[in-house]
Amino acid sequence: MVVDNRNSKLHTQKKLTLKSITDTMKKILIISLLWIFCDSVYAAESAKSTFSTKPKLVIGIVVDQMRADFIYKYWPKYGNGGFKRLVNQGFFFKDSHYNYVPTYTGPGHASIYTGTTPAVHGIIANNWFDKAGNKKIYCTDDLEVHAVGGSEKSGQMSPKNMLSTTIGDQLKLSNNSQSKVIGIALKDRGAILPAGHLANAAYWFDSVTGNWISSSYYMAQLPDWVNAFNRKALAKTYLAQPWQTLLPVADYSESLSDDNNFERSFHGETRPVFPHDLPKLAAANGNFDLIKTTPFGNTLTKDFAIETIQAEKLGKHPVTDMLTVSFSATDYVGHQFAPNSVEVEDTYLRLDHDLADLLKFLDTWVGKEQVLLFLTADHGAVESPSYLASLKIPAGNVKEKEINAALKKLLLDKYGEDLLLDYSNQQVFFDPKKLAGLKLSKAEVTNTVADFLMTFNGVVATVSKEALNNSFFNAGINRYIQLGYNPLRSGDLMVSYAPGWIDSDKSTGTTHGSAYSYDTHVPLLWYGWKISAGQSLQAVEITDIASTLALLLDIQAPNGSFGKFLPLLIKK
């Protein structure tokens, strides 16, 4: 009998086909579930990365008196590890400006870290006339504290005169003070104001002892590691060598000749030329104070910054830490020798090396991706007015002491009474008691003084306290004056000088303080954690820094801040 196997084979094939389909579907289902699982894990990790992960260490660097053009001016001579690394690997805002006057060190450092201007934070100058106490005060003066580790006068400092919080304060408030926040600079104001009210410490250089010191506002005594660092006596070591140029003097083609009439010599020198024999000059120039006006002051600051990071284990904690560093020597050198000097160029070339050392250390300490760093300046500087005048560019000096004396005489002659309390920082302070006693119209006296001031060479405008209180200026110099004007602390009449004119009785060197671009335009570089390489020509303001840091760190902005978020290129 013959058996037909066709149906049987067909049935078997169907079973195999169904099994194959079933197996395939199972595989698809498993793969789909795996994709869903992996996608959820990725999404969770992405969310964690976006909303939870923060940098281990935030470092704010302020280069005192660094104009924006110094990035380009000395670019060919910079190495690859300092400024060039920050520009090439970081994000560069090329049109960053201060938005107020006066552009001084104290207000500059306060504005960077508070995200607001003197109108709110109250640091209206480095020194100002205190109307309540009828005396001059310094921006970080605090007679209720005492020095820790140094001379008493140098140590009676705190941030109490600053009326708003800093980004460092907000960082500590965000996690019940688990974060460490420390400020360092040669200048006390460059260390204290950036670090804020809640800082673990602020350290500055004491020219009397040659040590890094603090005040009882922060601590009862210096930590052992600071004492150990001070025992190294590095300031003495740096001052034991002449200041020679890093390169042959002939190579400093970006600057004027080394021997010119627009620079101020050290005491004991006949001309302001290299080499500067620091060992011989020290005694006549304040001993340890001399290091501030050399690039070695910046190197000493870099050394102490690295020691601070290591000793305090900054960046090694579960929460974000913050270090503020101000390189102050550039300002001292700039004031004495002016922007076009070989001394200034050499100081920046050496600072470039110091920055390279710091960045290289950070690579090994926590790594580039765990550090969020920004670099900017507290103000710029004008070319020496005597140099500008030699080129037939309008420029000159307005002498504050002469204006003060002339105002007193004017008021005495016209009203029979000296109605002037003070003239400083381009501000006139009247005596309200005498005005009231003589039943004088303040507006009339103000107009008289304003008209008189306009007769001085270099004075181009005035604006009264009443105009600032009752009007809103959204452009021009008056906007800058208004943002720098604090009703409780500022004067009764504000004075503006012409471009190229400075408040100084010296014919050499330079200064700063105006609303003009040479004083307001500063570099702003971001580098490290989540920062993509790029550049922007968008105009930004210095008050935007603190707001940007707050959003990046997922914390509140400082309580007086009105800055906006900077359009950084952020890695997701």
Q: What is the pLDDT of residues 6-30, one digit of tens each?
A: 444 444 444 444 455 455 445 444 4
Which tens digit of pLDDT belongs to each residue from 78-128? Answer: 999 999 999 999 999 999 999 999 999 999 999 999 999 999 999 999 999
Given its phi and psi angles, is residue 385 left (phi above 0), alpha (psi -120 to 50 degrees) or beta?
alpha
Query: Could you say which of 53, 103, 105, 543 is catalytic?
Result: 105
Tell me the β-bridge partners of 129.
136
Give the architecture (CATH level 2) of 57-368+511-553. 3-Layer(aba) Sandwich (3.40)
Positions of CATH 3.40.720.10 in the chain: 57-368+511-553
Distance of alpha carbon 141 from alpha carbon 437, whole angstroms: 33
Residue showing tokens 């500590």? 172
Count the Cβ atoms, other than its own, within 10 Å of residue 92: 20
Positions of CATH 3.30.1360.150 in the chain: 396-498
Count the Cβ atoms, other than its own, within 10 Å of residue 242: 13
Distance of alpha carbon 67 from alpha carbon 57, whole angstroms: 27
Q: Active site includes 448? A: no
Distance of alpha carbon 350 from alpha carbon 344, whole angstroms: 10
Distance of alpha carbon 220 from alpha carbon 209, whole angstroms: 18
Distance of alpha carbon 50 from alpha carbon 571, whole angstroms: 10
> For residue 50, what is the DSSP state?
H
Alpha helix (H) residue ranges in 99-204: 105-114, 118-121, 152-155, 167-174, 188-195
Residue 227 and residue 216 in contact, taking contact as beta carbons nearer than 8 Å? no
Given 2.40.340.10, 3.30.1360.150, 3.30.420.40, 3.30.70.3420, which CATH number is that of 396-498?
3.30.1360.150
Give pLDDT tens digits along the chain (572 positions). 444 444 444 444 444 444 554 554 454 444 444 443 444 443 444 444 443 489 999 999 999 999 999 999 999 999 999 999 999 999 999 999 999 999 999 999 999 999 999 999 999 999 999 998 999 999 999 999 999 999 999 999 999 999 999 999 999 999 999 999 999 999 999 999 999 999 999 999 999 999 999 999 999 999 999 999 999 999 999 999 999 999 999 999 999 999 999 999 999 999 999 999 999 999 999 999 999 999 999 999 999 999 999 999 999 999 999 999 999 999 999 999 999 999 999 999 999 999 999 999 999 999 999 999 999 999 999 999 999 999 999 999 999 999 999 999 999 999 999 999 999 999 999 999 999 999 999 999 999 999 999 999 999 999 999 999 999 999 999 999 999 999 999 999 999 999 999 999 889 999 999 999 999 999 999 999 999 999 999 999 999 999 999 999 999 999 999 999 999 888 87
Cis amide prior to 275 (ω within 30 degrees): yes
Residue 188 and residue 123 in contact, taking contact as beta carbons nearer than 8 Å? no
Residues 549/561/60/520 CA torsion (nearest 10 deg): 120
Q: What is the pTM of this model?
A: 0.91
Alpha carbon of residue 499 to chain centroid:
24
Tell me the β-bridge partners of 182.
201, 323
pLDDT at 315: 98
